[in-house]
Structure 1
Amino acid sequence: MAVARLLLLVLLVRGCGGQEAEVICAETACYTLHRAELGWSAAQERCRHDGGSLAPARSPAEARRLQELLAAAGWPGPAWIGLWLSRGHCVQPQEPLRGFSWAAGGEPGNYTAWLSEPAVTCLSSRCVSLQPAGSSGAPSWADRPCRTLLPAFLCKFIFRGMCGPLPLAGPGRVAYTTPFGVRSPQLAAAPFGTLAQADCESGGGSAFAVCKGPLEDGGFAWHPPGPHCPAACAHRNGGCQHRCLEEPGQPRRCACRPGYVLAPDMASCLPEDACHPNPCQGTCRARPGGFECVCEEGYTLAPDGRRCLDVDECLAGPCQHECRNTAGSFICLCRPGYGVTGPGGRQCRDEDECAQPGVCPQLCLNVPGSFHCVCRPGYHRSGNACLDVDECLEDPCPGPCRNFPGSFECLCPPGFVPEEDGRGCRARPTTGAKHMGQPRSTPGIPRTTGTLQSTGAPQTTGIPQTLGIPFGVTLLAPTAAGSAPDPEHSADGPRLLLYYILGSLVAILLVLAFALALLACRRRAAKREKRPAKNAADNYCWVPEQPESRGVGGERSGWEKQ
């Protein structure tokens, strides 16, 4: 009793300061219309402060309920609802909600009522307002910047259950104060926790009641039950639906006809034991003379009228790829390599795996539902890696070959240039060269016919060249053919040029030495031909005459043999 009095006191204090707003309640939810000029975020904060959220419109039935609220309030202008697109998220033209989401959370649903297509953006937040019904008879949506100030907003509050109108036995007025702080003089259904204040006429005073529950049978009822504003059964049947009983010395009370039982409000009557205990697998609804079973969405009533059978929605083929039936619903699945998209997640679109970093070591090729890793030319696949191909193992060059990552190069000797295909060498084109005979070819090194020339020096003639390169000279100045080497080979240029110049000088010096030796031999031979022939007098020589001596032995001749 103390707890009930404390709850009643709290509700009374809250009710005294309740805000005036239009409200409509049905099933397990209440919707309110508030007249206040606020932006979307401020309106959402007001709804949250009272325990709710900006109202969604997930279905045509919910949209009609909001329209009834606007019509009852006579509101002609727009009002914020709980649909928005946060900053950094893009508008998706192919989706029903266009990428917007409900502030209250949950599934987006397929219901839409766009007055016009929302502005396509990814940079700013956009919020939606509800426009009252026009000629079409249904309210519509319009998007606008969230900072725009609108003169009204709609809230939604969800509860576990509802109580009916507070029954009155005598004349009086009832004011309802809801748990979300809104006062209303009339409610077709009052949410759990609502405080009802009955002001009885003819000096009957005031009475208070609170919607409590759930009760033992799962329902909700006013406490104390009533009817309030006691009066004689002659006035409005004492507030009773069937029978009003007045016994001497006993308070007035309500009773039901045979076949019916008194409801928790102690004024209305329900069919006797129609839904207590519940004979249905789903929801039981009492009807005059019996009951009716109702199944939830995704189920259908069995032929016996009591059980609920699951509906296999997959039989209708609602999904593009695969469908999995669940209790009361279904789930659409996509094959590997595809992602769920479209209204209700029923469509599938290919996922670009190549957009993810590090999928392949080199090149990635996206295909429907999958992808392929490929390597650049000059590499081959080995597991999850791309390894360099050593092209030189295939002997692509007539001479030396150098391999480097992704390609190779053919090396050409001085005086030769690479072929067009990069796999051979040909003689460097020269001008003014004279044919001096067929050179001898060295294996693996292409040769050509011509004469040896030295730039800036007289040309040697009459000396046949039998070798393109002097025998014994090492090829130290190769010329690259084929694909361009990587940067680490770029430093060989000056070195190759130096080797080329030194090799050319050595060859020129050898040729000059050979020519000088031959010339010296010819001159020596010419001198020998010009020397006179010898005779007998060459063995004699002249002796000066001596004075005649006259001595014993006689005279000497003037010639004397040497």
Structure 2
Amino acid sequence: MRAIGWVNTLKQTRPQATVTRTKLNGHNRVSNMKDATGLFTIALTFLIGSVSGIDPNNGYCIGNQCFAVFQDPGDFTTAQDQCREKGGHLMTVRSSVSHDTLLILLGSLLGRYWIGLHLPIGCPDAAAELRGFQWVTEDGESDFYNWAPTFDSSCSSPQCVSVSKDDDFKWIQEPCSKQAAGFLCEFSFQNPCTRLEVAEGETVTYRTPYGFEGEDVLSLPPGSIAVRRPTETKYICFSDRWLPAPWSCEIEEGGCEYKCADDHQKAPSCVCPPGRGVNPGNNVTCEVDKDDPCLILRCEQTCHQEGDVYSCMCEQGFELAQDRRSCRDFNDCRDERQCPGDNFKCINTVGGFQCVCKDGYRLTGDQCVDVDECVSAPCEHMCSNTPGSYQCSCFEGHIVIPETPDKCKLHCGRDECPAECDPNDRYQCDCPGGYIAEERPDGMFCIDIDECSMFYCDQGCKNTYGGYVCSCSAGYTLVEQYKCVKTEVTTDKDTEGWEGSGGATTPYVFITSSVNYPEPTRRPAKVTAGGLLGIIVCIVVVILVLVFLVHHILKRRGKLESAGALKAPGDEAHDLEHVTTEKHDKTAAERHLKQDT
């Protein structure tokens, strides 16, 4: 099964070709191929799937094992599943050699990483070899131990183990459900390849089927690819031997830079786009071919020769464009016969198509069945399932909000309605927008507000239940649902029957939608500069008039009080003597004379 792992990995990472090829049926159809190539072709019978998952951040191989570190946060179970998907398991640190490998992989990384040590059942046993813990390979064999001094032997202790640079890579007990920064995987294999010999001025880069690469590698697992530079020669490791490219087209496109041609009567070969030819030095890269007749055609995909005539052609799933050289995706969904069956639809893809279920349906077996969306309670009030969809409705006294059909809001539709109150507090009540609550002996009621009495509109206004409708006179246009802006006219003909023309006019032109606000009322906030100045002048004039009136009234009242004080009562009027100025002066003189004598 290890062979399956590396071959599947290669198949998963190779570029996707759009040309349809005949799949190998497991038989060796090439009798004149070299023995190594024949063995390689037989290995293709193990192509039964693909390995998925994330790529590692770093890796190291030694002997018949490779180790890789993945920086993908997750719990212990998720990490274990990720390693299994790649054909390995969480790393076991059984020896000082594997511990040194762990130091190499995590030497520059922060955070905690899962290793393959856990407590499957029971309680820790301090006297046991691994203290009751086991490796994920279901054994407790180990020549190396690195437990932290804080080991917890209670039955409630954490049952999984992680390592970290911060703790000197000691084995720390962690809850298996905790999120670690990543994990380490271990892969085993047979028949590894040793590194290629390198001449002076050459370098070789190796890429393993587990997703990591490097130059200083001593042991390579089967399926590893080596690239020798600067010649760009490629090799693949198979059964402890390096096979030069091109190899089977089913793996990494045979190592070809462009595409691999799989002629079952011949060995695999590389092909290049029109105007370029295969480099004879490495048989995989493409270089400009000045003698190619297809060069002047500049074909996007394929140049076809028929006799002495060359023409551009397109691969399967594409069609030739009008310029007769470029290719465009062929819309297979134009054929109504595609994707037969109820509730299926055709989705065009690059170079093909895909049959999927229509929205609101899911695939069950070979049929698309309706999904009951109401099970997930998408509506605020009531939900009714429909074929391929659902419909929301509201309880009595509510209506669906048009902008959000799954939500409901209060609705009256009359002059007044009972308010919706808290059953535990009759004073906590809600009314629809455009209504105001009114307390009565028999409860709280919502009364429609007449917004038109508040002059919200520039010109015409019509009150509606819960809102109002603004309108404008002929010759004006309604803007922002309440302002009237004069319509620009350019000719006398355009102004006939409009304001200022002297003809008959329509009083108002009503719009069909009402203006509803979430608050009971809302007045437009804009006030022009002229309007504001007029308001200020009016207020000042009113204040001055009031001051003048108050002053005038107080002054008149003071005069009346003074006159009343000078008047005596009627029964004393005859005792008063009218003293003239002359008499007053004479009397004063006589008094002065007597005082002198």
TM-score by length of structure 1 reads 0.33
The higher radius of gyration belongs to 1
After TM superposition, the score normalised by the length of structure 2 is 0.32
